[in-house]
Every structure is written in structure tokens, then in C-alpha cells.
Structure 1
Amino acid sequence: VERVKAEQPGIGFNAVTEEFVDIIKAGIADPAKVTRTALQNAASIGGMLLTTEALVADIPKKEPANAVPPGDMDY
């Protein structure tokens, strides 16, 4: 992991040849395939949201902090 962090961007480990190579030139990571997969996943989630009849969302309510009474007040 440290070796991969030290390498230039785009350099990764090829497990088949056990070498550090440019992953795009070696055909390991195809930018078009990555983009296509991201779009497919986004469309899948969008379709799920459109066909789901209920969506759970949490909207936090801002509540004022409780006031601390002064120390000299007796009850």
C-alpha cells in the first residue's frame, strides 16, 4: 500500500504480472468503462427512487439550548 501511495497518479499494481504499471495503458482500468458503470449505478438509484412509494429522510430540527437559571434562585 505504501508503494502505491508513493507512485505517480495512474500507476497501480498489476496482480497478473506482479509489476507496477500505468493502469490505463495496461488496460486494467478503462476510463470509458468506469464512466459507464458510474452512470448505470446512478440511473439504477434514480429509477429505484422514482418507483419507491416512500422515501425516508431525516430533517434535523434546530432546538434552542436550555437556559441555565442563575445560581441564586431557589425553588
Structure 2
Amino acid sequence: DDALNATRAAVEEGILPGGGVALLRAVKALEGLVPGNDDQRTGIEIVRRAIAAPARQIVENAGGDGAVVVGKLLEASDYAWGYDAQTGEYGDMVKAGIIDPTKVVRTAIQDAASVAGLLITTEAMIAELPKKDAPAMPAGGMDY
């Protein structure tokens, strides 16, 4: 079902390089923004860090150093150049078949911005406290 929806989305709006590369390329759009105040400057920096998070996490999940790889990807001038976490090699993501539907990437950014806007304008928020895992009980009478 997910594959069918992804295929439909790709047919509707096209494809982008996958592996978080398309989001990293969106950082260039932030470079032209001129913040009007410190709050806007902070917001731009938050967005800059957030759109690098998927690529960083993919690399770290594969056992690599996400910060190093993201740094190299941001220096690249080729739009589709990225990191294949499965092979550990850099290359053209589209040629390697590592792609994301444009619609999926676009809606992810829009939805994240919508939720962030909602949280900013909300006066109060309710959340569950994370539960602390209690240590396991020691084995009784087996300490010999």
C-alpha cells in the first residue's frame, strides 16, 4: 500500500534525490533570507538544523558519522550528489535509484511548518512525561 501511494505521488509531482539530499539542497533557499529580528534569525537557524536532521539520522542509523557526511553534502554543488548509506559511498542518488517523491518531501515540510506554527501560537501544551525504566530485579538466591 505504501509503495502504491509513493508511486502515485511520484507520478503526480515527480521525484527528488532521496536520502535527505533534497532537504539539504533546500538550505540554499534559507541563505537569501534576511531576518528582521532575532526571533526570525533563530527561526531560520532552527529550520536549517531541522532539514539536515533526516540525512544525518540516515547516516547514523547506518553506523556512520552524520555530521561529517552532512557537511560534505552541503559543500557539494551537484544537486543529486549524496551518500548511499547501504554501500557507504557518495554518488548520484537518482542514478543509484535512491529517490523520494516530490509530493512527500513537500508535504513533510509543510506539515512540519504547520505544527511548529501551532505550537508557537499555543499558550499552553500538555504532554506526557517520559517514563523512567526501573532496573530489573536481581535474581534471588543466585549470587554464589
Task: With the length of structure 1 as denominator, give the TM-score of the two structures.
Answer: 0.45
Structure number with the bigger relative contact order (C-alpha 8 A, sep ≥ 6) is 2
Write 1 or 2 for the structure with the bigger share of helix: 2
